[in-house]
């Protein structure tokens, strides 16, 4: 039999051991999910916090996806979400899919998908090196002078010359058409080609800006990935072009007469939602 003192000592040891056993048995070393849940708005506007800027959001509705880059409209804002092979992945995401993202702050707030969760199934995604992010620009719309490029018709060379190198704000519509400057070269190649397939080659294409108030047409000559993404956003929602252009030198009379294109232009910015996208 144990003495009274021995029983007291044994009881103390048992009590001291129970908490340690309880913690180990209740997942004391279980990993804590680093992703903090929130809506897209809450995450991008800083309403929820995460030590490592890791968040889980419901599957967003994409306005446009190309390659690894997706554009999402959230209220009156456009947000950018990047994911490895996003263009091919997004079709398999359902309304119940949750996307684990990391928040970045340069050159502006954007998100990179790091994992996809469907119920208990989690798929990790590779990071995207050097993602294509649309470029943004600060524009005070109240201070930008407007000009109707519809006045610069192809047969009014003096008016076009007077506006050469001018940077103006204007309104119009975007069109993806056969490149009028490449048509001569393509037809010459076709005439000389002995291979029948060569004559059926797709024509070179280019982006054009058509004036809102007339048939005046202008070839856009500074198209890059950022601008092309912006053009597709406007196209998808059937929105007009509202933005800045720089007027180039008038084409020769022969080119203008044949193509009805007045001159080349460079896009300096365009408006989409509450953002001003730049080349």
Its sign, for the CA torsion 42, 48, 53, 56, is negative
Do 148 and 208 reside in the same domain of the chain? yes
User: Which pLDDT band holds residue 23 (cuts at 50, 70, 90)?
Assistant: very low
Do 76 and 150 reside in the same domain of the chain? no
pLDDT at 197: 54
144 close to 243: Cβ distance less than 8 angstroms: no
Q: Is the pLDDT of residue 1 over 60?
A: no
Of 26-30, 88-92, 165-169, 218-222, least confident by mean pLDDT is: 26-30
pTM value?
0.77
Nearby residues of 209 by Cβ (< 8 Å), 6 or more positions away: 149, 172, 173, 174, 175, 217, 218, 220, 241, 245, 265, 267
User: Which pLDDT band holds residue 41 (cuts at 50, 70, 90)?
Assistant: very high
Q: Which of 132, 160, 187 is the last residue of a domain?
A: 132
Phi-psi region of 61 (alpha: psi -120 to 50; beta: other; left: phi over 0): beta
pLDDT at 32: 87
**Residue 36: Cβ within 10 Å count:** 16
Q: Which of 86, 101, 132 is the last residue of a domain?
A: 132
User: Which pLDDT band holds residue 34 (cuts at 50, 70, 90)?
Assistant: very high
Residue 13 within any structural domain of the chain:
no
Do 118 and 212 reside in the same domain of the chain? no
Report the share of the chain in percent with pLDDT over 90: 71
Q: What distance in Å separates the CA atoms of residue 99 and residue 173, rounded to the nearest whole number?
A: 35
Do 166 and 106 reside in the same domain of the chain? no
Segment 157-174 shows an average pLDDT of 96
Residue 125: domain span: 36-132
Residue 271 DSSP one-character state = E
Number of domains in the chain: 2
Residue 26 within any structural domain of the chain:
no
Segment 256-278 shows an average pLDDT of 94
218 close to 261: Cβ distance less than 8 angstroms: yes
**CATH code at 96?**
2.40.50
Q: Which of 68, 99, 132 is the last residue of a domain?
A: 132
* Helix (H/G/I), strand (E/B), else coil: 194: coil
Residue 5 within any structural domain of the chain:
no
Do 52 and 170 reside in the same domain of the chain? no
Residue 1 within any structural domain of the chain:
no
Residue 82 within any structural domain of the chain:
yes
pLDDT at 194: 54
Q: Which two tokens stand for residue 270?
A: 């365009």
Per-residue model confidence as pLDDT tens digits over 183-225: 655 454 555 555 555 556 678 999 999 999 999 999 999 999 9
Largest CA distance in the chain: 118
Q: What is the mean pLDDT of the chain?
A: 86
């Amino acid at each position: 039999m144990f003495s009274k003192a021995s029983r007291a000592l044994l009881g103390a040891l048992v009590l001291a051991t129970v908490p340690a056993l309880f913690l180990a048995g209740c997942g004391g070393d279980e990993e804590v999910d680093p992703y903090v849940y929130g809506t897209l708005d809450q995450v991008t506007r800083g309403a929820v916090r995460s030590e490592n800027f890791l968040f889980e959001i419901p599957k967003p509705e994409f306005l446009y996806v190309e390659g690894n880059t997706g554009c999402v409209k959230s209220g009156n804002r456009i947000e950018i979400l990047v994911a490895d092979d996003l263009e091919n992945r997004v079709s398999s995401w359902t309304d119940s899919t949750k996307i684990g993202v990391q928040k970045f702050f340069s050159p502006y707030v954007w998100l990179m998908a790091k994992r996809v969760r469907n119920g208990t199934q989690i798929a990790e995604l590779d990071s995207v090196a050097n993602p294509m992010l649309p470029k943004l620009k600060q524009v005070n719309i109240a201070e930008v002078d407007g000009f109707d490029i519809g006045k610069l018709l192809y047969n009014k060379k003096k008016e076009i010359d007077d506006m050469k190198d001018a940077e103006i704000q204007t309104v119009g519509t975007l069109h993806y058409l056969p490149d009028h400057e490449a048509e001569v070269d393509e037809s010459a190649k076709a005439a000389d080609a002995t291979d029948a397939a060569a004559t059926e080659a797709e024509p070179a294409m280019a982006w054009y800006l058509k004036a809102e108030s007339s048939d005046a047409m202008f070839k856009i000559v500074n198209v890059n990935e950022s601008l092309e993404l912006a053009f597709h956003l406007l196209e998808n929602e059937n929105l007009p072009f509202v933005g800045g252009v720089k007027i180039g030198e008038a084409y020769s009379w022969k080119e203008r007469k044949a193509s009805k294109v007045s001159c080349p232009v460079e896009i300096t910015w365009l408006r989409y939602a509450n953002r001003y996208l730049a080349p």
